[in-house]
Structure 1
Amino acid sequence: MNERSEPTAGTAAPLTGDSPMDAATEAFVTHRNLLFTVAYEMLGSAADAEDVLQETWLRWMKVDLAQVYDQRAYLVRITTRRSLDRLRTMRRRKEAYIGPWLPEPLLTAPDVAEDVELAESVSMAFMLVLETLSPTERAVFVLREAFDVSYDEIATAVGKSPAAVRQIAHRARLHVQARRPREVISPSQARAVLESLRRALETRDLQGLLDVLAPEVVLISDGGGVRQAAPRPITGAEKAARFIVGGLGKAQVALTSDPTVVNGNPALILRVDGEIDGVIAIRVEDARITGLYYVRNPDKLTRIASETPLTLR
């Protein structure tokens, strides 16, 4: 079914403003944060999500609003289809990426961290789990689990039957549950662990790092071929700690780490001689860090200067 097909049934939204174009603009602006969140969760890239929103806007401007009964659903449908197209293209792009690939970190408002469902769905650790799904599985899982979109509407968005979508959702849910953190910790617990990490980093304290890292910790660093980073994930507390301290030790420069909220979760912005060097996000289980995600690629650090609004509604 194409995007000009019969929209979702419901109560038609009245046109407001001086013209249909004004009404279309108002609807798009109203749902923009939601559409960005949908695209970002599907793509893991704010730059690509913005491109998808531009494509969604251009398509939306051609829609006859008098025929649209649920503007939010229709916009989400367009965004999903555009995201799916781009996700397939990004797969090829990631295959040529130098070193490990991490999602683009977003500076988010503190209140995002208080929304447990939203904070988990955009966390760096969870976004990496979503990377292990196929494009269609990811779209179905994100729309159903994060945004509570109906199976019928998802079927229309991804071009599958409702029965097929239910099977895909079930399969994706099992896949994600097997890889997601065993427990959801509170923001205060995460901040406490992050503070221990911050102190160890700034003092280049190897033992301090070993104390806060879980034995099975995995360190992933993303330099994108522009900044130095480990060519592959590093597993194990001692290897990870020595890699971090070794890298910091060679710098022989002033290092500061500022606590912040990235992707709805506590994180650190590292600065070397006052210049941003990267962002460190963490995954915490049993009060110790099981995942370290260090984004150094400058192209991925453009969204940490100002907050990006996210919403599931």
Structure 2
Amino acid sequence: MPVERLSVVVTRRLPDAVETRLKELFNVELRDPDTRMTREELADAMRRADVLVPTVTDQIDAAMLAQAGEKLKLIANYGAGVDHIDVASARQRGILVSNTPGVLTDDTADMTMALMLAVTRKIPQGLAQMQAGEWAGWSPMANLGVRIGGKRLGILGMGRIGQAVARRARAFGMQIHYHNRKRLRPEIEEGLEATYWESLDQMVARMDVISVNCPHTPSTFHLLNARRLKLLKPTAVIVNTSRGEVIDENALTRGLRAGEIAGAGLDVFEHGHQINPRLRELANVVLLPHMGSATLEGRVEMGEKVIINIKTFADGHRPPDQVVPSML
């Protein structure tokens, strides 16, 4: 007698190869067209599924979990960050949560360096000049940026991505500094030639570039608040490819407008896709639409992790990428 397949609901469109493999293994409902589910649609999906495959655009809070059906046993998140899921409430209801760590490390670190260079070398201004047909030819003093070689980089959050950023920045000749919840092991620190700062205040006051690479948790919300942003050198640049909530966006905007911060490269924002309009107007800011992890290879690898987590769960074992509240 054939084993009944798990019922899986996917909330957004995924790469074709991933969707096809999900179809082969499970009873899958795919999302078409690729629009964000309303709360009502999401609640309905959670009532009829054994497994939900959400993304960062799906807010799964305690109220949403209270509407979940008895069938729902696994939330196999398509993404590494799980700050949009109330993991503790899910656990209380007997629902496991998994994620897709590790596969986006290099893509995000690459984009961090790209933003760093875009801000310091004024790449968007050069592009705008060329596209508008305003370039009158080379001039010694035109479009002057600053070099990143020899500058001090302060990494906020030295996990997988933070370390990948450090390796790249070392190749550019930057001096690596970091603040982390826990200090790295000596051999890792030595390999990265990284200087540890227990005091975040002391670190940010001395850096030329700050790279935000920590997750959003209650303890990191507005970690770079108005007071801390005031400590930055007026020549300093901030790059954020992690989570927008780590920075007080209004305070950052004020600092940039006042010339108290030299520039910012942002791929994520405090209020999702609703960006402070004053931030959009600033010439010393490079804004990207949350594309730090946007490579085809990365998206497929994320899907493969989701499939492994669901398949392992279906076979009666703990998903390899299970997330528990103590990890957050």
Report the TM-score, using the length of structure 1 for normalisation: 0.26
In proportion to residue count, which structure has more helix? 1
Higher relative contact order (CA 8 A, sep 6+): 1
